[in-house]
Amino acid sequence: MCGIAGAISFSEDMRGDMKIYEKMQKAMIRRGPDQRGIVLTRDAALIHTRLAVIDISGGRQPMSCSVGEKKYTIVYNGELYNTQELRRKLEQDFELETDSDTEVVLKSYIKWGKNCVDRFNGIFAFAVYDEAERRVFLARDRIGVKPLFYYDTGNKLIFASELTVLMEHPDIPHEIDDTGAAELILMAPGRTPGCGVIRGIKEVMPGWCGFYSERGLRLEEYWRLRAYELNETFEQTADHVRELVLDSIKRQLISDVPVCTFLSGGLDSSLISSVAASEMKNQGKLLSTFSIDYRDNDKYFTKSHFQPNSDPEYIECMAEYLNTDHHWIIVDTPELVNTLDAAVEARGLPGMADVDASMLILCREIKKHGTVALSGECADEIFGGYPWYRDKDIRMTDGFPWAQSTFYRKSFLGESYRNRIDAEDYVYSAYRQTADDAVKLHTDSELEYRMREMTQLNFSWFMQNLLDRKDRMSMYSGLEVRVPFCDYRIAEYLYNVRWEYKDWQGQEKGLLREALKDWLPEKVLYRKKSPYPKTHNPEFLEAVTSRLREILEDRCSPLTELVSRKALERLLTHEDHVQWYGQLMNLPQTIAFFIQLDYWLKRFKIKLV
C-alpha cells in the first residue's frame, strides 16, 4: 500500500515545482513510510510514498518501463490478488524483472491498455503516464477501497490519494461553497459519490477509469453491479458463497510481511480470523488477532435494539477457539477525546467522531506488531446484515435508511446557507438518483426490486464511508488493511441472490452463516449482529460537551459562520436524541462531529464562499 500524487499539464513545464511536489509527498508520508520517489518530465510530476509489503526491494516507485521508443511510468496504491495468474499471461510478451504487483499492473496496461482493469482482482488506485502519447491513464478499483481525488484547473490535472495532499498544491483553493456546506451538514460523514467537499475537488468513482490528455479529462465506468437471472437452489448458492469467500480470504493472506486480523467477536471478522488461523497453522505460524474495548464499558454498557450485547465474551471465545496470539487495546476517555483532531488529519474531513478516533488508536497499536491486517468490512452491505435491510418499515421508507434526520440536520445550517440550500431536495435527489441507478430485472418482485435499490444505496454511500474510514485511519498509521468481503466476485454474485436465501431462517446474513458454519463455534455463529463498539462512558459526553462549549465561547471560531450557534447551544443541553448517522452517531458523536468540523476549518484554513 502506498500514497500516490501527481500533476499533469501540457501547457507548462512541470519540472520547475519540486518544492511543491516535496510538500505533497511529505503530506502523505504516513501512507508510505518505507520508501519515496518523484519523477519529473516536461508534462508530468509523479509522486510516491511506499508501504512495502510485496517484493520489498524490487517494488520501488515511480516505476518506469520502456517498450521500443515508448516509455511508461506508474504510481500505484493497492494490492492485486490475482498477480500470479496475470504474470503467467504477461510472461508471454515481457520479461518480468520483479515480483511486485506494481510491475504487473504497469505491464498489464502496456499490453491491454485501458482494458487491463477488467482483468484485475484487487484494491487499487493508480496513474500511468504514457510519455509518447502525452497522456495519463487513471483508474480506481471496482468497489472503491482505495481512494483517488483530483482537481482540474482547466490546463492542469492534480491528483492524490488524499484531500490533504491535494491541498498542499497552491493551485487548489481551500474553499467550500453551498455544495460543500450541504455535504458537511446534511450528508457527513458520508459524501455524495464523486464529491470531494472542497470546491473543485472531485473523486474518481469506484469502477471508473479514463485518460487525461491535451483534450482534457475523459472518465468512463468500466464496472458496476449488474442484474441477471440466477436459478440455483439454496444448497448450490451456499456452496458458491463458501467457495468465493474462502478463496478471497486465502488470496488476501499473501504477503512478504506479517499478517494479522481484526477480531470483534462478530460473524465477519471471526470468519476471516478462523480461515487465516487455519492457513497460518498449516505454515507452522500463529495468527495474531486484535480487538478494541473501552475503559469501564463493562460498567456502563446498556443493551439496545441495535447493540444487544457487548463484544468481549465473544472475542475471548474466538481467541480461545482459534488459539491466537490475542491483543486487547483498551481505550480510555481522555485518549479518545484527544484523538478526535488526529482523526480529522487522517480522514482529511470531519468524520464519525470517536468511531474514527478509536479506529485510529487501534490501527496505531496493530502497527507495532505487523504491517498487514484483514478486516470484515462490507459483509453487511453485500449479505444484507443491517437492520434497514430486514425491518420492513425502514426498508420501504423513501430515503436513506441510515439518515432519516434531514429536518433535524438542516436546523444546524447557518442562516444564510439555510436560505439558499433546499435541504430536503438536496438529500432526497441524491437518494433517488442512486436508487434509480440500481440495475433491475423486469421479472423482479417488489421485494427483490427494493433490495437491489437497498444494495446500491449501501454500496454507493454507507459502505464508501466505512471504507474511507478504514483506509484513512489505517494508512495514517502505516498499516495496510485488506477487506476480503470486498472481492468484486462476491459482490457481483450476491447482488443476484434472492433475498429469501440471504435472510435464511430469518437471521441476518443467514446465507453466510450457513455457508461457513464449519468455521465457527455455535456461540459466535449465531450471535445477533452488533455494530462497531462505541464508548458508553458518560465521561465522554461530558468531555465533548465541555470542549464544544469552549469553541462557542471563542467569538472568532469559524464554526459559527457555517453552523447555527443557536442549534449548537441547544445541542449542549442534551435534550436532542436524534441519530445523526444511524446507530453509529448519537448525541455524544454529534457533539464530537462539530468539534471535528471546527478543527478542520481552522487546521486547513477553509474559507466559506
The residue type of 495 is Y
Strand 175-176 and strand 63-67: the pairing is unpaired
Catalytic residue among 2, 116, 363, 486: 2
- Please report where in the chains the cell 496513474 appears, as a residue: 127
Give the pLDDT confidence score for residue 307 in this predicted structure: 65
Residues 187 and 430 sit within 8 Å (Cβ to Cβ): yes
Q: By the 8 A CB rule, do 80 and 122 touch?
A: yes
In which region does residue 398 sit, left (phi positive, over 0), alpha (psi from -120 to 50) or beta (all else)?
Answer: beta
| Of 144, 108, 140, 145, the residue nearest 127 (C-alpha) | 140
Return the HEC string of 358-421.
HHHHHHHHHHCCCCEEECCCCHHHHHCCCHHHHCHHHHCCCCCCCCCCHHHHHCCECHHHHHHC
The continuous run of DSSP H or E covering 48 comes out as strand 44-50
Burial class (CB in 10 A: 0-12, 13-18, 19+), 220: exposed
Is 2 labeled as catalytic in the residue annotation? yes
Q: Which parts of the chain sit beneath pLDDT 70? A: 1, 54-57, 301-309
pLDDT at 534: 80
What pLDDT, on the 0 to 100 scale, is given for residue 306?
A: 61
pTM over 0.85: yes
Contact yes or no for 157/163 (Cβ under 8 A): no
- Scanning the structure block, which residue is given the C-alpha cell 482459534? 322
Contact at 8 Å (CB) between 203 and 141?
no
With cell 502519447, the residue in question is: 133
Cell triple for residue 568? 449548537
**CA neighbours closer than 13 Å in the CB half-sphere of residue 501:** 23
pLDDT of residue 298: 79
Q: Tally Cβ neighbours within 10 Å of residue 289.
A: 27
